[in-house]
Chains A and B, each alone.
Chain A
Amino acid sequence: MKAFFLTPLVIFLFVVFLFMAKMLETDNKKDSPIIGKEMPEFDLPAGVATDSSFNNNDLMGKYTLVNVFASWCIPCKIEHEQLLKIKEDGKLPVYGINWKDDKQIVEKWFEQKGNPFTKVGEDKEGKVIVKLGVTGAPETFLISPEGKILYRYAGVLNESIYNNEILPLVKD
C-alpha cells in the first residue's frame, strides 16, 4: 500500500465529517430564528366575527396561540377540528391571522364548522406573514404574556403536539 493512494479516502472522510457535523447542527437549529424574539409590531383590520382591529395589545398579559390560516388552504380545514378542541379546552385562547382571503367564504366556513378564534385579523397583503417568516399555511405560534414568541409549528397541529410540545411551555 502506498500512502499516496490513501489521499482520496482521507479527503472523502473529511467531507463526510463535514456533512455529519452540519446535519447535527441542523437538528438542533430546526426552529426558526424568530423563536425567543418579540412578536413583531402589527395592527390588522378586523376579520371574521371580530369587531375591532387585531394588534399586539390583544396578546399581552396571557399565553396565546396565533394561527395563520386561510380558506384556500386544505390542511387548514383539517387542522380546524383541533383548533376547536383547543378552544373547548380553554387553556389557551387562539387568535387567527387570515391570510389573503375572502371574508365571506370564511364566514360561511365558520357558520358550518364553528369558529375556534377569539379574534381574527385580516392580512390581505401578507405583511405580518412576512414579518413572522411564515412559509405556508397553516402555521401556529405560541406567544408569552410578555409578547415573546416561544414556539413555532409549521403544518397541521395535532393533539400530541398540543399536549407534548405546546402545553409544557405554558407556565401557570
Chain B
Amino acid sequence: MIPAIGSFVLIIALGISFVQIFTPFCKNKEIDAKYISLSVFLLVAASFGCLLYSYVTSDFSVMNVYKNSHTHKPLIYKITGTWGNHEGSMLLLCLILAAYSFFFALLNKLETKMKDIIISVQSAVNVGFLAFIYFTSNPFERILPKPQNGVGLNPLLQDIGLAMHPPVLYLGYIGFSLGLSYSVAALISGKADRGWATSLKKWTLFSWSCLTLGIGLGSWWAYRELGWGGFWFWDPVENASLMPWLVATALLHSLIVHEKRESLKVWTVLLGIFTFALSLVGIFLVRSGVLTSVHSFASDPQRGTYILIFLGLVVGISLTLFAMKAHKLKPKNKFAPFSKEGGILINNLILVVLCLTVFLGTIYPIIVEVFSENSVAVGAPYFNSVFNPIALPLLILAGIVPILKWKKDDAQKVKAKLLVPLICALFIFGLVLFVPDKQSFIAAISLGFSTWLISSMLYSLYERRKSSIPIPFWGMVISHIGLGVLAAGITVVSIWGQEQEKILHANESIKIAHYDVKLVDMYIAAEDDYMMRFGNFEVTDYTGRRVASLQPEVRYYPVQGSNTTESDIYYSLLSNLYIAMGDSNDKGGFVVRVYHKPWVNLIWLGCVLMASGGFIAMIKRKK
C-alpha cells in the first residue's frame, strides 16, 4: 500500500510540474506560483517519505529495499540506505530540486517577468528528473514473492560520513539549477541588473558552500574508510564534483563584479549555464557507466542515454539562447586592468582553465576510445603535474585581489599594503627551505604562498580595525583563509607524509616518523551483520611514552561476502597516525599498513572554513 502511494504521488508531482512550465505565461493567474511549487515539493516529499517508511519497516516486497537493505542493519543505516542507491538518491535529488524551486518562488524579490521565466525553467528541469525516476529508475518497483530478507547494503557504505555526503552534495549540485534558470531568464529578457546578480549570488553562495562541504565529507569518508590513506584520488566521480565546484567558484566571483559594477555580464551568464551543465555531466558520468571508477554505482546504458538527452536539451537550448541573445547584455562600466575587476577576471580565467584540465583528463579516455581502438587511463600523475602548478597562482591572487579597489587602483598604495604578507611569506619560505633533513623546494613555495594568502587576509582585517567590518567581508576573509589552510594541509601531507607496510606478528613493531607502533595481539569477534578481526596496537612516541592504543579492524560481511577495512586513527592536533590491517599470511602474520599524515586535519578544516565563509557571506549587510 505505502509503496503504491509513493509511486502514485510521484506521477502527480510530475504532472503538476509539467503544467507549471506553462502556467507562468497564462494571462489570468489564479493561483500563485508559490502554491504550485509548494504542492510539488510536498508531493515529492511524501513520495520520499513512503520510500523511507519502506526502508525503516524493511518491506522487502519493494525491490529497492530488498536489494539495498537487511533486517540486521542498524536503524540509522536503514534510514540512510534510502539514498544509498541509485533510485533512492535520485528521489532525494528531486526532493532537493523541488525544495529549491519552492523556496525560490517563496523568497525571491525579482520582477515578475524574470521570475516567471525562472519558475518555468525550474519546472522543466523538475519534469526531466521526475520523468527520469518514474520511467527508468522507479524506486517503488515490487517483487513477488516477497523475499524473507534483503541482500544488504554495500558494507563500505555503512558509514556516517558517506551517508551524509550525498544530501549535502546534492544541495550543491542542484542549487546550481537556479544559476542556469537565472541565466536563461537574463538572456530571454535581455537584461541582468544588480538585483538579478544579488539574488543569484545568495543562491550560489549557499549551493557553493554545500558543495564544498559535500566534497570535504566525501574526501573524509574515503580517507577513513577505503583504507588507502589518501584524501583525493582523481577518480572520475571526484572530478565530476570538482568541475562544477571550480566553475561555481568562478561564477561566485564574477557575480560580485556583476553586482557591484555591472560588468562581465555575458561571462557571468555563461558561467551560470556551465555550472549546472557540469553538475549534469557529473550525474551522467556517475550513472551511465561510460567511465569506470571506485564509485561503481548503478551504471546502466539506458539511464545514461536518458540523462544524455536531458543534458543535451537543457544545456543545448540554453547555449542556443546564449548564442542568439548574449550580445544584448551590455556592460555598464569599464575597468582598468589593474583593479579588483581585473584581478577577479584573472582568477576566473585560472579557475576555468583548471576546470578544463580536469575535464580533459576525465574525458580523454573516452576521446581515445571513440577515435581509436586503444584505451588509456589518465591517473593522478597527469592531474598533479598539470593541475597543481596552475592552481598555485590562485593563492597569490586570492591574497591580493580582495584589497584592490574597484575600477582602478594605484600600484604604489597596494605595494605598501602587501609588505607585511610578503615578509611573512618570505620568512616561511626560508624557514621551510632550511629545515634540516626535510628540505623541499616545492613545499617551501607552496607554504610560502599559503602564508601569503592567510597573512594578507588577517592584515586586511587589521587595517580595517577602526571602521566596522561588513559581515560579507568576514565571510570572504574566512573562506580565503580556508583556502590557504587547505593548501597548506595538502602540501604538508603530500610531501612529508610517510607510509610503511610490513607483515607483523604479535609483539613486533613498525617505526614511522617519531612513533613506534607495536602489534600487541589480535582478536576475532562477531557483530549482528558482520564478523571482524581486529589488532591491538600500542603507539609510543620517541621518548617511549605511550600515546595511544589503536584497534583497526577488518570486517567480513557474510551476506555480501565482502571485506572492508576499518582503519583506526590516532588524532594529534593536526596530524594523524593511521593504521589499516590487511590479509593474514599462512604463518599467523598480518599485513599492516601504517601511515603518518602530518597536518592532514588542515584539509578538512580548510573545507569547513571555506564553506562557513560562504554561509556567513549570505548574511544581509546592515543598512
- A residues bordering B, Cβ < 8 Å? 1-2, 5-6, 8-9, 12-13, 15-16, 18-23, 25-27, 30, 70, 72-75, 100, 137
Query: Which residue of chain A lies nearest to B151 when distances are taken between CB atoms in the complex?
Result: A74
Write the chain B residue with the least CB distance to A19. Answer: B308
Tell me the B354-404 residues at the A interface (CB within 8 Å).
363, 366-367, 369-370
Additional 17 contacts, C-beta under 8 A, given A19-B366, A137-B561: A1-B324, A2-B326, A8-B274, A9-B316, A9-B323, A12-B277, A12-B315, A12-B316, A15-B363, A16-B308, A16-B312, A19-B284, A25-B369, A30-B301, A72-B559, A72-B561, A75-B151
A24 to B270, CA, bound (A): 30
Asked if B558 is an interface residue, CB under 8 A from chain A, the answer is yes
Residues of A within 8 A of B270 (CB): 8
How far in angstroms is the closest Cβ of chain A from B512?
A: 31
Taking a contact as CB atoms under 8 Å apart, the answer to whether A5 and B316 are in contact is: no
Instruction: From the candidates B288, B322, B370, name the one contacting A21 in the complex (CB within 8 A).
Output: B370
A16 — which chain B residues lie within 8 A by C-beta? 308, 311-312, 316
In the bound complex, how far is the Cα of B561 from the Cα of A137, in angstroms? Answer: 9
Give A24 to B348 CA distance when docked, in angstroms. Answer: 36
Is B284's CB under 8 angstroms from A5's CB? no
CA of A100 to CA of B327 in the docked complex: distance in angstroms?
A: 66
Alpha-carbon distance A26/B274, docked complex (angstroms): 26
Inter-chain contacts of B618 with A (CB < 8 A): none
Shortest Cβ gap from A29 to chain B (Å): 10
Least Cβ–Cβ distance between B554 and chain A, in angstroms: 15
Interface residue? B304 (CB, 8 A): yes
Among A5, A20, A22, A72, which residue has the most Cβ atoms of chain B within 10 A? A22
Q: Does B19 contact A (CB under 8 A)?
A: no
Task: Looking at the assembled complex, report how far the CB atom of A49 sits from the nearest CB atom of chain B, in whole angstroms.
Answer: 22
Task: Kindly state whether residue B157 has any CB partner on chain A within 8 Å.
Answer: no
| Bound CA–CA A23/B308 (angstroms) | 10
Q: Which of chain A's residues have a CB closer than 8 A to the CB of B290?
A: 19, 22-23, 26
A76 to chain B minimum Cβ distance, whole angstroms, is 10
Interface residue B289 (Cβ < 8 Å from any Cβ of A): yes
Nearest A-chain residue to B367, judged by Cβ: A18
- Complex-state Cα separation, A27 to B303, whole angstroms: 12
Chain A residues in 8 Å Cβ range of B277 = 12
Dominant SS among interface residues on chain B: helix
- B561 adjacent to A73 (CB under 8 Å): yes
Residues of A within 8 A of B324 (CB): 1, 5
* Minimum Cβ distance to chain A for residue B279 (Å): 14
22 A-B pairs (CB sep. < 8 Å): A1-B324, A5-B322, A5-B323, A8-B273, A8-B319, A9-B320, A9-B322, A9-B323, A18-B363, A18-B366, A22-B290, A22-B369, A22-B370, A23-B301, A23-B305, A25-B369, A30-B301, A72-B558, A72-B561, A74-B151, A74-B559, A75-B151
Q: How far is the CB of B514 from chain A (nearest CB, A)?
A: 39
Q: Please give me the residue from chain A that is nearest to B320 by CB atom.
A: A9
CA distance A6 to B151 in the complex (A): 50
Q: With a CB–CB cut-off of 8 A, which chain A residues contact B369?
A: 22, 25
By beta carbon, the residue of chain B nearest A13 is B316
Please give the distance in Å from A123's CB to the nearest CB on chain B.
13
Instruction: Give B556's nearest chain A residue, CB to CB.
Output: A72
When distances are taken between beta carbons in the complex, the residues of chain A under 8 Å from B322 are: 5, 8-9
Question: Would A5 and B301 count as touching, CB distance under 8 A?
Answer: no
Q: Measured between C-beta atoms, what is the minimum distance from B142 to chain A in Å?
A: 16
Q: In the assembly, what is the distance between CA of A26 and CA of B558, in Å?
A: 32
**What is the minimal beta-carbon distance from B413 to any residue of chain A, in angstroms?**
37
The minimal Cβ–Cβ distance linking A27 to chain B, given in whole angstroms, is 6
Expressed in whole angstroms, the minimum distance between the Cβ of B372 and any Cβ of chain A is: 12
CB distance from A100 to the nearest CB of B (A): 7
Residues of B308-366 at the interface with A, using a CB-CB cut-off of 8 Å, are 308, 311-312, 315-316, 319-320, 322-324, 326-327, 363, 366
Residue numbers in A under 8 Å from B323 (CB-CB): 1, 5-6, 8-9
Known: A9-B322, A23-B288. A18 touches B559 (CB 8 A): no
Asked if B561 contacts A26 (CB within 8 A), the reply is: no
Q: Is the interface of A mostly helix, strand, loop or mixed?
A: helix
CB distance from A149 to the nearest CB of B (A): 21
Chain A residue with the shortest CB-CB distance to B284: A19
Q: How far is the CB of A15 from chain B (nearest CB, A)?
A: 7
CB distance from A3 to the nearest CB of B (A): 9
B149 and chain A: residue at smallest CB distance? A74
A contact residues around B284 at 8 Å (CB): 19
Q: Which 9 A-B pairs have the closest CB atoms?
A: A9-B319, A21-B370, A5-B326, A6-B323, A5-B323, A72-B561, A22-B366, A22-B290, A16-B312
Assess whether B327 is in contact with A26, with CB atoms less than 8 Å apart. no
Expressed in whole angstroms, the Cα–Cα distance for A161 and B112 within the complex equals 57
Whole-angstrom distance between the Cβ of A141 and the nearest chain B Cβ? 19
Residues of A within 8 A of B273 (CB): 8
Assuming the contacts A72-B558, A100-B561, asked whether A18 and B370 have C-beta atoms less than 8 A apart, the reply is: yes
Closest to A6 in B: B323
Contacts of B305 in A (CB 8 A): 23
Chain B residues near A30 (CB-CB < 8 A): 301
The complex places the Cα of A26 from the Cα of B291 at a distance, in Å, of: 10
Q: Whole-angstrom distance between the alpha carbons of A71 and B495 in the complex? A: 47
| Cα A109 to Cα B550 with chains together (Å) | 40
- What's the least CB distance linking A79 to chain B, in Å? 13
| Complex: chain A residue closest to B304, CB-CB | A23
Contacting residues, chain A, for B312 (C-beta < 8 A): 16
| Closest chain B CB from A9 CB (angstroms) | 4
- Chain B hits for A23, CB < 8 A: 288, 290, 301, 304-305, 308
Query: Chain A's nearest CB lies how many Å from the CB of B600?
Result: 33
Q: In the complex, what residue of chain A is closest to B290 when comparing beta carbons?
A: A22
Residues 259-317 (chain B) with a chain A CB within 8 angstroms = 266, 270, 273-274, 277, 281, 284, 288-290, 301, 304-305, 308, 311-312, 315-316
Q: State which residues 179-212 of B face A: CB under 8 Å.
A: none
User: CA of A6 to CA of B273 in the docked complex: distance in angstroms?
Assistant: 14
B480: min CB distance to chain A, Å:
29
**Cβ–Cβ contact A27 & B301, under 8 A:** yes
Tell me, rounded to whole Å, the shortest Cβ–Cβ distance linking B274 to chain A.
Answer: 8
Chain B residues with Cβ under 8 A from A5's Cβ?
A: 266, 322-324, 326-327
The distance in angstroms between the C-alpha atoms of A18 and B151, with both chains bound, is: 37
Question: Residues of A contacting B274 with CB < 8 Å?
Answer: 8
CA distance A27 to B288 in the complex (A): 11
Closest-CB distance, A150 to chain B (whole angstroms):
23
Cα separation A22 to B362 with both chains bound (whole Å): 14
How distant is the Cα of A27 from the Cα of B421 in the complex, in angstroms?
57
Q: Give the shortest distance, in Å, between B97 (CB) and chain A (any CB).
A: 22
Chain B residues 79-101 with CB under 8 Å of chain A are: none
Whether B319 pairs with A12 at a CB distance below 8 angstroms is yes
A111 CB → nearest B CB, Å: 20
Near A by CB (< 8 A), chain B positions 120-151 give: 149, 151
Contact between A26 and B370, CB atoms less than 8 A apart = no
CA distance A34 to B151 in the complex (A): 28
Q: Which residue of B lies closest to A1 (CB)?
A: B324
Least Cβ–Cβ distance between A133 and chain B, in angstroms: 13
Q: Within 8 Å CB of A12, what residues of B?
A: 277, 315-316, 319
